[in-house]
């Protein structure tokens, strides 16, 4: 598994297993066990997903030791603020059956994010979190946070796919040594309808998903595809045995339309 080195020298697996919309049940625990068996070592969840207990159970029941797993969760909007963040963090630890996190993220930028970040910094200094970051932060949100932050976020997890490349945000994060992570990299399946991706899938004899995930990895974008289908989970992992040419990489990047599938971080009401 290829890793990306965060600015505090923590190694983060470039490919992870996303768990959005997976229910809090044994089926989800079984999927976690299966993903770990396949080779995933990076699991991404959030308190908002409501499945942390099943994630923790799956990790406990797997044959992979906790130390070999990069576990990520997020604090939800209604839990932001210093005290609420500490409380939410402790609840997440309990549900996940662990005594530390590998990465903790602010799920969305809110008015209280600076106070939330102060709690993150304290938890990090107490060695309860190995790395800290944000999610869905655009340049204006990052600038605001960095105006008072003592520690620069290690990761910014954002919507990123062939129709939403956000080159200015990527450039800003690169200059500030913040690693970018992609959510919804497969556009909820829409990539199957893109001619360029279709042609490349045929050229390389790979699935549409494998082409797009490989594009992410070659851009040094951490990515967390999500599926509840074991065959797809396995297929999504098989992207380290080929390489896209520079021309083919560019042909995907040129698909950028600034098109969002999810909410606009500058205009949401939750």
Would you name the residues annotated as active-site residues?
49
Q: What is the rounded CA–CA span in Å between residue 58 and residue 121?
A: 29
- How far CA 253 is from CA of 165, 179, 206, in Å, comes to 7, 18, 18
- Residues paired with residue 179 on neighbouring β-strands, in sequence order: 155
Locate 76 and state its tokens: 């939800």
Q: What is the rounded CA–CA span in Å between residue 140 and residue 172?
A: 10
Q: What is the rounded CA–CA span in Å between residue 169 and residue 142?
A: 10
Nearest CA among 147, 157, 79 for reference residue 119: 79
Strands, E, within the chain: which ranges? Answer: 3-5, 11-13, 17-18, 42-44, 70-75, 103-106, 132-135, 155-159, 179-183, 222-223
């Amino acid at each position: 598994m290829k890793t990306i080195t965060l600015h505090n020298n923590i190694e983060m697996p470039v490919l992870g297993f996303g768990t959005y919309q997976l229910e809090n049940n044994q089926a989800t625990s079984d999927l976690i066990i299966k993903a770990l068996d396949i080779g995933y070592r990076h699991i991404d969840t959030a308190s908002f997903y409501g499945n942390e207990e099943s994630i923790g159970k799956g990790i406990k029941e797997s044959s992979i030791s906790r130390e070999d797993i990069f576990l990520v969760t997020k604090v939800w909007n209604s839990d932001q603020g210093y005290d609420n963040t500490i409380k939410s963090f402790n609840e997440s630890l309990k549900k996940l059956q662990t005594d530390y996190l590998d990465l903790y993220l602010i799920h969305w930028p809110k008015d209280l994010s600076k106070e939330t970040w102060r709690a993150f910094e304290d938890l990090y200094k107490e060695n309860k979190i190995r790395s800290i970051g944000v999610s869905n932060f655009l340049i204006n949100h990052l600038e605001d946070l960095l105006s008072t932050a003592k520690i620069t976020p290690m990761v910014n997890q954002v919507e990123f796919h062939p129709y939403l490349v956000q080159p200015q945000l990527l450039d800003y994060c690169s200059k500030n040594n913040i690693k970018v992570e992609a959510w919804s990299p497969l556009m909820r399946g829409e990539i199957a309808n893109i001619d360029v991706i279709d042609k490349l899938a045929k050229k390389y004899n790979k699935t549409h998903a494998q082409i797009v995930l490989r594009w992410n990895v070659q851009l040094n974008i951490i990515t967390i595809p999500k599926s509840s289908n074991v065959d797809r989970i396995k297929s999504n992992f098989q992207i380290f045995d080929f390489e896209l040419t520079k021309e083919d990489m560019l042909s995907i990047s040129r698909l950028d339309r600034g098109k969002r599938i999810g909410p606009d971080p500058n205009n949401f009401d939750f």
